[in-house]
Structure 1
Amino acid sequence: MAEIVIKNVAKRFGGFTALHSIDLTITDQEFMVLLGASGCGKTTLLRIIAGLETPSQGEVWIGGKRVDHLPPRERGISMVFQNYAVFPHLTVFENIAFGLRMKKLPQTEIDRRVNRTAELMHIEQLLKRYSGQLSGGQRQRVAVARALAMEPDVILMDEPLSNLDALLRLEMRAELKGVLADSKTTTIYVTHDQVEAMSLADRISVMNGGKIVQAASPVEVYRNPAARFVGSFIGNPPMNFLPARRGTNGQFQVAGLELPGPVAGDALDFAIRPEDVEIAPTGFVATARVIEPLGAHTLVTTEVDGKLFRAVLDSDLKVAPGDELRLAPKPDRVRWFDPETTLAV
C-alpha cells in the first residue's frame, strides 16, 4: 500500500508563505495531478513529499509511515524531473541501472528490471546507445524507465513533458497513463497544462496561491468547479461570467434574461461554459467581435452587456464580426458563484 497523506503542511520562505496548511490524501495506486499556474506552490508541495524541502509545519505519511523527517532515499519514492537528468556519458542501460547499482542489487536482478522497464517504455532497442545521442522524447522515456526500475511505492513527476513538442507530448501522455497503471504505482504529477491534467489524472488538485482550491475527478472539476478560479483556469476557452441580481419575482436578471437560480443570495455571478450556449430565438443579445475557425467548431468571441462572452458554435454556422446573435444557455449547465467569497453556490 502506498497511500499518501499530507496533514496541515505549510511552507514559509522568510516572510513569504508558499503553502498554506495543505491537507490531501492520495489513495494507493491513484494518479494525482497537482495543477496550477507558476508560483502556486505545486512544485514546493512535490519537493516536500520527495524530501527535497522541509515543511515549516505539518506531516507527510507514505504507506502508513510518517516520512517528513526521513531523507529522500528512505521514502520509497522515485522522481522524474523536467530536465530528464539522464547522464550523457552512460548508455541507456547504465542510466536505467544507475539507482539499482547504488542499491547493490545482483546483476541478474538489474538485468531483469532494466530489460522489463525498457520494454515497457519501448526503448529496448536503444539500450546500448549513449543517452547523449538520443532525442528529447527518447531521453524522457529513459528517465521514466529509470524511475520505474526502482519499483518504488510512489513516483513523483515534475512537468516531465514540458520540453517535448506537441505531437510527442500527445504520444507520451497516452504511454505514461498505460505504463503507470500497469505498474500499480501511486503517482503525483505536477503540471500547469490543463490538457495533461484532464487526460492523465484520476483526480486533479487545482492549486492557487499556495492552497488547494478543489481536489476532484477531471469531469467534476470541469463541470462543477468549486470556485470561480477553477472555472476560469480549467477549460480553453474558460467559463463565461456575468453579474446576476434577483428580481422582485425571485428570478435572476442576467444581461436582460430572467433565469431561475439558487435560493440563497440576491447578487451572484452567473457562469456557463462556451460550448454550453446555443443559437436560439431568445437568449443573451450578443455582438460578434472575433471569429476563430477551429475545424469542427468555431470559437466566437462576442460582447454581451458590455462584457466579453465566448461561444463554441458549429462550424457550419456563418458568423461575421458585427453580427448580432441570440445565445441561450443550456439550463442544466449553468453554475452560480458568490461574488464575495468566489465559491460555488
Structure 2
Amino acid sequence: MAEIVIKNVAKSFGSFKALHSIDLTISDQEFMVLLGASGCGKTTLLRIVAGLETPTQGEVWIGGRRVDHLPPRERGIAMVFQNYAVFPHLTVFENIAFGLRMKKLPQAEIDGRVTRTAELMHIEQLLKRYSGQLSGGQRQRVAVARALAMEPDVILMDEPLSNLDALLRLEMRAELKGVLAASKTTTIYVTHDQVEAMSLADRISVMNQGRIVQAATPVEVYRNPAARFVGSFIGNPPMNFIPATREGEGRWNVAGITVEGPDAGRERLDFAIRPEDVDIAPGGLKATARVVEPLGAHTLVTTEVNGAMFRAVLDSDIRVSPGDELSLVPKPDRVRWFDPETTAAV
C-alpha cells in the first residue's frame, strides 16, 4: 500500500507563504495531478513529499508511515524531473541501472529490472547508446524507465513533458498513462498544462496561491468547478461569466434575458457557462460577433454580450462573420452559478 496523506502542510520562505495548510489524501495506485499556474505552490508541495523541502508545519505519510523527518532515499519514492537529469557520459543501460547500483543490488537483478523497464518504455533497442545521442523524447523515456526500475512505492513527476514538442507530448501522455497503470504505482504529477492534467489524472488538485481550490475527477472539475478560479482556469477557452441580478424566487436577469437559477438569498450572482454549451436559437443572449476563428470541426466565435467578451464554440457548418448579430441560448443543465464575493460555487 502506498497511500499518501498530507496533513496540514504549510511552507514559508521568509515572509512569503508558499503553502497554506494543505490537506490531501492520495489513494494507493492513484494518479494525482497537481495543476496550477507558475508560483501556485504545486512544485513546492511535490518537493515536500519528496523530501527536498522541509515543511514549516504539518505531516507527510506514505504507506502508513510518517516520512517528513526522513531523507529522500528512505521514503520509497522515485522522481522524474523536467530536465530529464540523465547522465550524457553513461549508456542508457547504465542510466537506468544507476539507482540500482547505488542500492548495491545483485547484477542479475539489475539486468532483469533494466531489461523489463526498457521494454515497458520501448527503448530496449537503445540500451547500448549514450544518452547524449538520444532525442528529447528518448531521454524522457530513459528518465521514466530509471524511476520505474527502482520499483518505488511512489513516483513523483515535475512537468516531465514540458520540454517536448506538441506531437511528442501527445504520444508520451498516452504511453505514461498506460505504463504507470500497469506498474500500479502511486503517482503525483505536477503540470501547468490542463490538457495533460485532464488526460492523465484519476483526480486533479487545482492549486491557486498556495491552496488547493478543488480536488476531484477531471470530469467533476470541468463540469462542476468549486470556485470561479477553477472555471476560469480549466477549459480552453475558459468559462464565460456574466453578472446576474435577482428578478424573483429562482429567476435571474442575465444580460437582458431571464434564466432559472438558485434561490440563494442574494441579490447578485455570477452566471457561468462554457463556450461549447450554447446554441444559436431565438430568445437567447444578444451577442455581436467580433472575431471568428475556424478550428476544423468547430468555430470559436468571440462575441460581445452586454459590453463584455463572451466566447462561443459552434459547429463549423454554422456560418458566422464578424459583425453578425447572434442569439446565444445557454443549455440549462450546463449553467453554473458563483458568489461574486466569495467566488465559491452556489
Give the TM interval when normalised to the shorter protein: over 0.9
Residue in structure 2 matched with residue 289 of structure 1 by the alignment: 290
Aligned pairs for 1:203-282 (under 5 A) are 203-248=203-248, 250-264=250-264, 265-282=266-283
1:282 is displaced (CA, Å) by 1.2
Residue in structure 2 matched with residue 300 of structure 1 by the alignment: 301
Residue in structure 1 matched with residue 159 of structure 2 by the alignment: 159
Flag structure 2 segments of 5+ consecutive residues without an equivalent.
Answer: none
Residue in structure 1 matched with residue 92 of structure 2 by the alignment: 92
Deviations 1:121-162 (A, max 9, x none): 000000000000000000000000000000000000000000
Residue in structure 1 matched with residue 81 of structure 2 by the alignment: 81
Residue in structure 1 matched with residue 72 of structure 2 by the alignment: 72
Residue in structure 2 matched with residue 131 of structure 1 by the alignment: 131
Match of 2:55, SS state, is coil
Aligned pairs for 1:41-120 (under 5 A) are 41-120=41-120
Runs of 4+ residues over 3 Å off in structure 1: none
| TM-score where L is the length of structure 2 | 0.99
CA contact (8 A) 2:250 2:262 kept: no
Q: Distance in 2 between matches of 1:203 and 1:291?
A: 34
Aligned pairs for 1:183-202 (under 5 A) are 183-202=183-202
For residues 64 and 248 of structure 1, do their structure 2 counterparts lie closer, same or farther at Cα, with a shift above 3 Å needed?
closer
Q: Distance in 1 between matches of 2:120 and 2:279?
A: 45
| TM-score where L is the length of structure 1 | 0.99
Q: Distance in 2 between matches of 1:241 and 1:78?
A: 42
Match of 2:214, SS state, is strand
Q: Distance in 1 between matches of 2:109 and 2:133?
A: 27
2:46 maps to amino acid: L
For residues 112 and 242 of structure 1, do their structure 2 counterparts lie closer, same or farther at Cα, with a shift above 3 Å needed?
same
1:35 and 2:59 equivalent? Answer: no
Alignment identity in percent?
Answer: 87
Q: Distance in 2 between matches of 1:7 and 1:287?
A: 50
For residues 250 and 179 of structure 1, do their structure 2 counterparts lie closer, same or farther at Cα, with a shift above 3 Å needed?
closer
Q: Distance in 2 between matches of 1:29 and 1:106?
A: 28
**What is the RMSD computed on CA atoms of the aligned residues?**
0.6
1:67 is displaced (CA, Å) by 0.1
Residue in structure 1 matched with residue 8 of structure 2 by the alignment: 8
1:266 is displaced (CA, Å) by 2.0
Flag structure 1 segments of 5+ consecutive residues without an equivalent.
Answer: none
Aligned pairs for 1:134-145 (under 5 A) are 134-145=134-145
Q: Distance in 1 between matches of 2:325 and 2:269?
A: 26
Q: Distance in 1 between matches of 2:196 and 2:328?
A: 31
Match of 1:247, SS state, is strand
Corresponding pairs, count: 345
Q: Distance in 2 between matches of 1:260 and 1:284?
A: 14
1:250 is displaced (CA, Å) by 4.7
1:306 is displaced (CA, Å) by 0.5
Q: Distance in 1 between matches of 2:5 and 2:134?
A: 38
